[in-house]
Structure 1
Amino acid sequence: MTERVKIAWKNVTVGFEGRKPVLRNLNLEAYEGRSLVVIGGSGTGKSVTLKTALGLIKPQEGCVEIDGEPVRPGHENDPGVSQIGMLFQSGALFDSLPVWKNVAFRLLHAEHVSEDEAHARALEALEQVDLDPHVADQRPGSLSGGMLKRAALARAIVARPKILFFDEPTTGLDPVTADVINKLIVRQVKNLGATAVSITHDMVSMRTIADDVAMIKDGQTLWRGSLDGVETCANSEVCRFVRGESSED
């Protein structure tokens, strides 16, 4: 059965004044209901790839499409606005708000649900990421790094999105906590039946959460394929990268 394309980057070029293009005619597809992990060295354009799909950066050339419709930053009928949940690298919780209001922020301020309903859904989302209800009334500053990531994941899933983006989800976590977060990500993506796109330097994370893998180099897709094929593909540079080997003899 042919996979349905959920997100497509079509000949996307992004550059910033005085610098060479970060993305150069990038072509990439994320399939519906599958988890795509984008890997590559620092400065290769991974974060910019994510930001173009979010509508935070507008390509100079090409476009990003969601469900066959171009992403249109700032438009209410942008195809991604109502579908996307995002887990930021730092968690990006508001220190001035209790955890439950952080989790329910979109429900309260974009979907305008009642505070009672938002609170109930926030507690449900926290339970789904294995956080106890008493955490809901705490401030983010009182949480450990792993708990912050879980709370941020709860915020990403609370609106039951069809698309989930993960920006370096295990950065700064110890290996045991990172493993917990990776497994929670897999569970929530499957529970929602969502399309997921992650960027990471963590090859353990890649091997846990990916269905498909793409490697970006110099702003272009160097290789794309299934997780099963990433370490045995014909491209030696991809094999070295995922094995953590240098290109030097």
Structure 2
Amino acid sequence: MADPMVRLTGISKTFGTKKVLDNVDLDIDRNETLAIIGPSGTGKSTILRIIAGLLAPDEGTVLLDGQSRKGLIEDEADPFRISLVFQQSALFDSLTVEENVGFLLYQHSNLHHDHIHSLVRQSLDRVGLSEEISNLYPAQLSGGMRKRVSFARAIMEDPDHPSDNPELVLYDEPTAGLDPVASTLIEDLMRDVRSQVSSCSTYVVVTHQDSTIRRTADRIILLYQGQVQWQGRVEDIDQSDNPYVRQFFAGQIQGPMQITD
């Protein structure tokens, strides 16, 4: 069998005195959509940052297409590009929408400005945004629009270097803070991007939101106290007798997960 796209083995990470991840194993296959769920502070976003190469584990190995990553993303090129969509969009406030979306191409390609402008327009169109917002700044956009701009930036493709196009997209709480209608738009967008952008057929989403879990993922892992307590298919949620699953989806205070302030 082919190697998984991503394989985490024995991953542990401690911040200060708090062990956030504790010997986590996780495989992500190509063309898979995975949701990582669990209470706040249990290591979900930390896993995304380790996969993205923004954070190194204290223990364990990260394999990408069977190749071991040494250090962080800037230390050595990964075998494929990974895009991370941050929870707060992480747009550059001093740059326009066009400059944000085309940032990598403006900084690291030899493409003509007009060509990059055309590619930015295509990327904005993919996420349902008009070219008319290109000259606006992030502060002039709604929360939902900022999310979509961050999506457009994450899926930008370089026609001169197709090997640099994103093959894995990581979404950190993409619907956090959005109303139900805006959340539905973002959930639809995640699925649309996967079908429209040929290279972006695999993604991982960290989320607390029931609709996002059920509408965007094929498989789920549930983290608590830095360990995987359950994993299964989305269709297994309502039939599972796992106490962590039951507590999480019922929103109950009582159960194996102790919620502290």
**Is TM (by shorter chain) over 0.5?**
yes
1:204 is aligned to 2:202: no
Matches within 5 A, 1:1-249: 5-17=4-16, 19-72=17-70, 73=72, 74-80=74-80, 83-159=81-157, 160-192=165-197, 193-247=200-254
SS in 1 for 2:231: strand
* Alpha-carbon spacing, 1:112–1:227, altered in 2? closer, same or farther (3 Å): farther
SS in 1 for 2:15: coil
State whether residues 34 and 217 of structure 2, in contact with CA within 8 Å, keep that contact through their aligned partners in structure 1.
yes
Distance of 1:124 and 1:243 partners within structure 2: 41
Deviation (angstroms), 1:30: 1.3
Deviation (angstroms), 1:240: 2.2
CA deviations on 1:18-52 (whole Å, 9 max, x unpaired) are x1321110011111111101000011110111111
Kindly provide the amino acid, as one letter, of the partner of residue 36 in structure 2: V
CA deviations on 1:50-84 (whole Å, 9 max, x unpaired) are 1111112111110121111123312242335xx11
Distance of 1:89 and 1:189 partners within structure 2: 19
Deviation (angstroms), 1:222: 0.9
SS in 1 for 2:34: strand
**Unmatched 5+ stretches in structure 2:** 158-164, 256-261
Q: Structure 1 residues 58-67 or 125-134, which shifts more? A: 58-67
Deviation (angstroms), 1:219: 0.8
Distance of 1:13 and 1:220 partners within structure 2: 9
Kindly provide the amino acid, as one letter, of the partner of residue 204 in structure 1: S
State whether residues 161 and 194 of structure 1, in contact with CA within 8 Å, keep that contact through their aligned partners in structure 2.
no
**Unmatched 5+ stretches in structure 1:** none
State whether residues 103 and 122 of structure 1, in contact with CA within 8 Å, keep that contact through their aligned partners in structure 2.
yes
State whether residues 71 and 79 of structure 1, in contact with CA within 8 Å, keep that contact through their aligned partners in structure 2.
no
Deviation (angstroms), 1:111: 3.6
Deviation (angstroms), 1:112: 4.1
Number of residue-to-residue matches in the alignment: 244
TM, length-normalised to structure 2: 0.88
State whether residues 98 and 135 of structure 2, in contact with CA within 8 Å, keep that contact through their aligned partners in structure 1.
yes
Q: Structure 1 residues 224-233 or 5-14, which shifts more? A: 224-233
Distance of 2:135 and 2:143 partners within structure 1: 17
Distance of 1:200 and 1:71 partners within structure 2: 26
TM, length-normalised to structure 1: 0.92
* Alpha-carbon spacing, 1:215–1:109, altered in 2? closer, same or farther (3 Å): same
Percent of residue pairs bearing the same amino acid type:
35
SS in 1 for 2:134: helix
Distance of 1:25 and 1:122 partners within structure 2: 41
State whether residues 3 and 66 of structure 2, in contact with CA within 8 Å, keep that contact through their aligned partners in structure 1.
no
Distance of 1:3 and 1:149 partners within structure 2: 34
The CA RMSD measured in Å over matched residues stands at 1.7
Q: Structure 1 residues 24-33 or 225-234, which shifts more? A: 225-234
State whether residues 232 and 239 of structure 1, in contact with CA within 8 Å, keep that contact through their aligned partners in structure 2.
no
Deviation (angstroms), 1:128: 0.5
State whether residues 229 and 244 of structure 2, in contact with CA within 8 Å, keep that contact through their aligned partners in structure 1.
no
State whether residues 70 and 79 of structure 1, in contact with CA within 8 Å, keep that contact through their aligned partners in structure 2.
no
Deviation (angstroms), 1:157: 0.8
SS in 2 for 1:165: strand
State whether residues 4 and 32 of structure 1, in contact with CA within 8 Å, keep that contact through their aligned partners in structure 2.
no
Distance of 2:83 and 2:18 partners within structure 1: 31
